[in-house]
Chain A
Amino acid sequence: MKRLVLDKPFVTLAICVAAWMLLPFAVKRAARLAFFEFQAPIDISAEAVRNLQDYWALRSRNPNELIEAGKEVARLNAFYETKIREAKTLEAEVASLEQLLRLPVFNEYRAEAARVVRRDYNAWWQRITIRKGRNYGITVGAPVIFVGGVVGRVSEVGLYTSVVDLISSPGVRLSAIIEGGGERRPVSFQGRSSAAFSRATGSLEFVPLDIYLPPGETTRVVTSGLGGVFPPGLSLGVIAKLEPGGDGLFKSAEVSLDPRLASIMEVTVLVPLMPPQLPKGAAK
């Protein structure tokens, strides 16, 4: 065995790769999680160092600037307090209408704000690591949003950190609707690899032929709520280009995503309060 490793290293490597491919998925998953957990303290420490840098950078600011910033925050707080009160009134109204009309209640979510500890965007994937994991009840597949709309969905969860696949990642696909189209016809949204120095983009497939872009207006794309992962109405981006598809049956579109996705620092994870329930008779 020792001689095989020394004399025929390529054969040894081929045998090892074949053995690795035959290894049960659970073993690989456990190994991946183990390595992932070891990386968490490094990511969190690096973020703490960055926060310290920011703190000292802010300390060097002119006190007048800080006073102005404080006043601006106070104004915003007052505005948001009013909005929260309005939202509560509307929520109560929706709940009473749902009860009155015996409408089905949508899955409820718990909003969990989290800081981004690492961004990793390359040609093949775009993902971020956030500072909350199983310790805050984050689950795989949970939708993640920010002030500009949808960020993506949680793909890996560790004890202290989680990984979120961004909607600009080519592997992310979800159901969307085009706003202002009149009817709520679902289309398929998929992330696209972002070119360097440009905005992140996505693509829309299966857009009906009778949908047109109104000239001089921006047309938003929002989540449809189908599939039960993302709540309906969350912004995905705006349509940059709409053209006939190759098959002639549908159109396809290029969606320009929020530029703030590139420098995102804070996100909110929507943790489902109850798992989505399948209708009776549906295939599991």
Chain B
Amino acid sequence: MISLYRQPFVVIVCGILLWAITAQINHYLAVWHLNLFTGGLMISYAALRFRSRIIWRIALPLGLWIDAASAAPFGMHAALFLLAGIIIHKLRGRKPRTDAVFSVIVAVLANAALFIAVAAVFAIRGPVQTGIVFTLLLNFMLSSAFVLLVAPWYFALQTRALELAGIDAHMQLGQISQD
């Protein structure tokens, strides 16, 4: 039986790597007041492939990690990641969830939904200033393009990392049938 902790651990480490890369890109983009968001990409691989308990074990720490690095209320990203994970898990049904193109589409959609959700939370919490819509739109388009670009690499990285940890593709898929 696959360890219930090894799988989340590998995916979380990959998520932290993606966060570190995104943070470095954001460091350079700060000159133009632009920002990338990749939360949807972090969660979509796990949400498409794993059983719900493992999704929880991945989404919660990754969400809290993002929360600690942001000015958002602690727990906000964790709750949104969990919600996104549950929705993808519910909807994946008979879809070709391991298909690369389908996975990329889900990642882009999940990222867009999370971006809008985070924006909505902040808009509710405080007054929205004029000129922010243009920045948000630009960040949204940039983030979507970035996710579209790196999602195939990131999914391959997670698959390879899981294989290196002794969890091959068949074993990963075996986890799906248990739900």
- Residues of A near any B CB (own CB < 8 A): 5-6, 9-10, 13, 16-17, 20, 28-29, 31-32, 35-36, 38-39, 42-43, 46, 118-127, 155, 165, 169-171, 192-198, 200, 262-263
* Chain B stretch 76-98: residues in CB contact (< 8 A) with chain A: 79, 82-83, 86, 89-90
Binary interface encoding of chain B residues 116-144 relative to chain A, with 1 for a CB under 8 A from any of its CBs, else 0? 00010010001001011011101100000
B56 nearest CB neighbor, chain A only:
A5
Q: CA A31 – CA B79 in complex, angstroms? A: 15
B43 CB to closest chain A CB (Å) equals 14
B179 interface contact, C-beta 8 A: yes
Tell me which of B23, B27, B33, B79 contacts A17 (CB under 8 A): B79
B65 interface contact, C-beta 8 A: yes
A116 nearest CB neighbor, chain B only:
B27
B63 CB to closest chain A CB (Å) equals 10
B178 nearest CB neighbor, chain A only:
A6
A194 x B33 contact (CB < 8 A) = yes
A123 x B136 contact (CB < 8 A) = yes
Q: CA A16 – CA B39 in complex, angstroms? A: 20
Q: Which 3 A-B pairs have the closest CB atoms?
A: A35-B68, A122-B35, A119-B30
A31: B residues at CB distance < 8 A = 64, 74
Q: CA A122 – CA B68 in complex, angstroms? A: 16
**Interface footprint category on B:** 35 or more
B20 interface contact, C-beta 8 A: yes
A35 nearest CB neighbor, chain B only:
B68
B110 CB to closest chain A CB (Å) equals 16
Q: CA A155 – CA B70 in complex, angstroms? A: 11
B30 x A123 contact (CB < 8 A) = no
B131 x A119 contact (CB < 8 A) = no
B20 x A46 contact (CB < 8 A) = yes
* Chain B stretch 25-58: residues in CB contact (< 8 A) with chain A: 26-27, 29-35, 52-53, 56
Please list 8 pairs of residues, one from A and one from B, whose beta carbons are closer than 8 Å in the complex, sorted by A's number: A6-B52, A9-B86, A16-B82, A32-B68, A123-B35, A123-B132, A196-B135, A262-B31
B4 interface contact, C-beta 8 A: no
B30 x A196 contact (CB < 8 A) = no
Q: CA A262 – CA B32 in complex, angstroms? A: 7
* Chain B stretch 148-179: residues in CB contact (< 8 A) with chain A: 179
Known: A9-B52, A28-B75. 19 other contacts (CB 8 A): A6-B179, A9-B89, A16-B79, A20-B75, A35-B65, A46-B24, A118-B23, A120-B35, A121-B33, A121-B35, A122-B35, A122-B135, A123-B35, A123-B135, A193-B129, A196-B32, A196-B34, A262-B33, A263-B31
B139: A residues at CB distance < 8 A = 122-123, 196
Q: CA A126 – CA B71 in complex, angstroms? A: 9
B132 x A193 contact (CB < 8 A) = yes
B1 interface contact, C-beta 8 A: no
